[in-house]
Chains A and B, each alone.
Chain A
């Protein structure tokens, strides 16, 4: 965790504690709310229920209903309310219960939040964070299982963050809240129950910097969010076969850490890109093109991508598990490249 910025500015934190991913997010919210009275929460069932996935548990009791503002089921209106509050200098953090519901918030997010700074100029800032629970794996069905980063990646003016670890989630959420731009913060719902080591004390992780998960010389595996964890597992499988995987967790999609991507690609010459989103027009398509534009003469093999196929996510757990990428699929793709 050498790239963590501590409150003191230098050095790695000395001690760690074990927290659930959800608790790490909650700590970020608490720290930022304690630090800045303008930070407040908006969302459905974030009050006494503690949020659909428990992220805001206890916060109503701690901060009160004015600050933990529970909204009716009005994603479009709530998004607009957040925009209006943000342009007045407030820093709303909206919880979107399922990323699939971003469709309902899209006008205010894409036509307003994302464009105000450009159209209205420096007088206008929209410092909001839209926290989305994304991803499949809980058999919730097609409208509760999507990962829609590609949609928001396509909107100039938005930042898009997608942590893969609890430690990153905390540090990145803090940075996102302090950022003066609208940030779509993508949380994977399967990772919520992951119990992991978090550094003690306050730390921030900057947006736009990837995490180098493990070092390898043979093939680059580039991903983000839950798939970065699967990529890490795939690297373990490949290591047993003598194949060295260089795994990169992007952490932020916009702004993208192209430098880290190109550093890995020029080292290995072979690239597997992984996303949980569907294939056509997905994040990997964009990454592949940028790699091609900047480093095609470093490539020793065609770029591979491992994605969910172009289907709505099926409900049956067996079907869902079969269509979402996993470590085995990633290892298969990487192995094929390494053997070329």
Chain B
């Protein structure tokens, strides 16, 4: 979780310094959701992600150096600089891709689960998406198909209360997005997305149900992003008070304190982990900066398999 937090803060800083170009959608604050979900799955399971996908990617085992290199647009990045933040994938670790279309990963995860079912394997696919995506038409279509076909897919809605600047109270007539699950004939579960243990437990239960042929689940992680939607977002649509309230529920100190309390870790070890990770993030920046950009000719290739 520190890796995600420090990575995102570093990216934010690099943009502010004018070093990185384009835009970014940072997930600082939502670490417990990303890490909790992946921890509740097996390493051989799959995930699809969103435009806000760095956390999902790093949680799944993505290499921060190659991810940073991609943000720098370098040839050593996951997409050789052709994809950028919103378009990276690493099938080898089961990361089926971040996605620039809101909700785009939802039917894709459903199809991946269909392939798994057809092969009679016991993998599970988790589809990450936000509150905004839950209003896309393909959300409806995909959840319905997963339910009628009993596909091994977990729909993980990270409800951070805002779709860009639109608050959920203006976009939904229901309080919980998970309430929609009933309409599709699947379980709907609401979980504290700032609590790593709660997320992990909910995902593990849903994954076992899916593996046993029990079909999909809609999980709603209540969470909050600390930074803006993207670059240049002055967050005029929410209050500093609200931000402070959620910062007090930060999942990282919560997990750290729990691990120290039960003797899994000491304060010193916790500090060392944070320092190691900070170094790792610095190294990823150095790696990216030292990497070349693809030659232009290469940008004209690779359209077709």
B59-75 vs A, CB cutoff 8 Å, 1 = contact: the mask equals 00000000000000000
- State A139–B114 Cα separation when bound (angstroms): 37
| Among B82, B92, B137, B305, residue most surrounded by chain A Cβ atoms (within 10 Å) | B305
Cβ contact within 8 Å between B142 and A124: no
Interface stretch of the complex, out of A86-94, A184-192, A235-243, A281-289: A86-94
A336 adjacent to chain B (CB < 8 Å): no
Q: From residue 35 to 68 of chain A, which have CB atoms closer than 8 A to chain B?
A: 40, 66-67
- Segment from A110-118, A146-154, A308-316 that makes contact with B: A110-118
Q: Which of B4-12, B17-25, B83-91, B281-289 contacts A (4 or more CB under 8 A)?
A: B83-91
Interface contact B110-A156, CB-CB below 8 Å = no
Of A81, A108, A116, A124, the residue contacting B114 (CB under 8 A) is A81
**Interchain CB contact under 8 A, B115 and A84:** yes
Point out the residue from A78, A117, A125 that lies within 8 Å of B303, measured CB to CB. A117
The segment out of A26-34, A69-77, A272-280, A320-328 that lies at the interface is: A69-77
Interface of chain B residues 101 through 121 with chain A (CB within 8 A): 101, 104, 106-116, 118
Q: How many residues of B contact A (CB 8 A)?
A: 44
Q: How far is the CB of B294 from the nearest CB of chain A, in Å?
A: 11
Residues of B within 8 A of A74 (CB): 141-142, 144-145
Asked if A157 lies at the interface with its beta carbon under 8 angstroms from chain B, I say yes
Contacts of B130 in A (CB 8 A): none
Which of B99, B104, B109, B145 neighbours the largest number of chain A CB atoms within 10 Å of its CB? B145
Known contacts A72-B148, A80-B138, A115-B87; 17 additional CB pairs below 8 A are: A69-B149, A72-B141, A72-B145, A76-B137, A81-B111, A83-B108, A84-B110, A84-B114, A85-B111, A87-B111, A88-B115, A90-B115, A107-B138, A108-B138, A112-B101, A119-B82, A119-B89
Across the interface, B91 reaches (CB within 8 A) one of A78, A112, A123, namely: A123
Find A87's partner among B80, B83, B91, B304 (CB 8 Å cutoff).
B91
Contact yes or no, B100 A85, CB < 8 A:
no
Instruction: Tell me if B96 is interfacial: C-beta within 8 Å of chain A.
Output: yes
Q: Which of B78, B88, B111, B149 contacts A84 (CB 8 A)?
A: B111
Cβ of A79 under 8 Å from chain B: yes
Taking CB atoms, residues of chain B closer than 8 Å to A83 are 107-108, 111
Chain A residues, CB < 8 A from B113 = 84
B303 touches A120 (CB 8 A): no
Q: Give the one of A118, A157, A159 with max B CB within 10 A.
A: A118
Cβ-based interface call for B216 (8 A): no
Chain A stretch 117-154: residues in CB contact (< 8 A) with chain B: 117-127
CB of A126, distance to nearest CB on chain B (Å): 8
Shortest Cβ distance from B90 into A: residue? A123
| List of B residues within 8 angstroms of A126 by Cβ | 305
CA distance in complex: A83, B48 (Å): 12
Beta-carbon contact of B104 and A78 below 8 Å: no
CB atoms of A77 and B91 under 8 A apart: no
> Could you say which residues of chain A place their CB within 8 Å of the CB of B305?
117, 122, 125-127, 180-181
Between B92, B106, B112, B115, the greatest number of chain A beta carbons within 10 A of the residue's beta carbon is seen for B115
CB distance from B303 to the nearest CB of A (A): 5
Interfacial chain A residues near B48, Cβ < 8 Å: 84
Q: Provide 10 A-B residue pairs closer than 8 Å at the C-beta atoms, listed in order of the A residue.
A: A77-B140, A79-B107, A80-B138, A84-B125, A90-B115, A92-B111, A107-B104, A119-B83, A122-B302, A181-B304
Contact partner of A76 (CB less than 8 A), chosen from B82, B125, B138, B304, is B138
Chain B residues closer than 8 Å to A4, beta-carbon distance: none
Query: Smallest Cβ distance from A74 to chain B, in angstroms?
Result: 4
Interface centre among A74, A84, A121 (most CB of B within 10 A): A84
The answer to whether A112 touches B104, judged by C-beta atoms less than 8 angstroms apart, is: yes
Complex-state Cα separation, A135 to B285, whole angstroms: 54
Question: B100: shortest Cβ distance to chain A, in Å?
Answer: 7
B282 to chain A, nearest CB (A): 27
Give, as a whole number of angstroms, the nearest-CB distance from B54 to chain A.
Answer: 16
The CA-CA distance from A86 to B112 in the complex, in Å, is: 8
Q: What A residues does B149 contact at CB under 8 A?
A: 69
Q: Which residue of B lies closest to A65 (CB)?
A: B149
Check if B199 is an interface residue, CB within 8 A of chain A: no
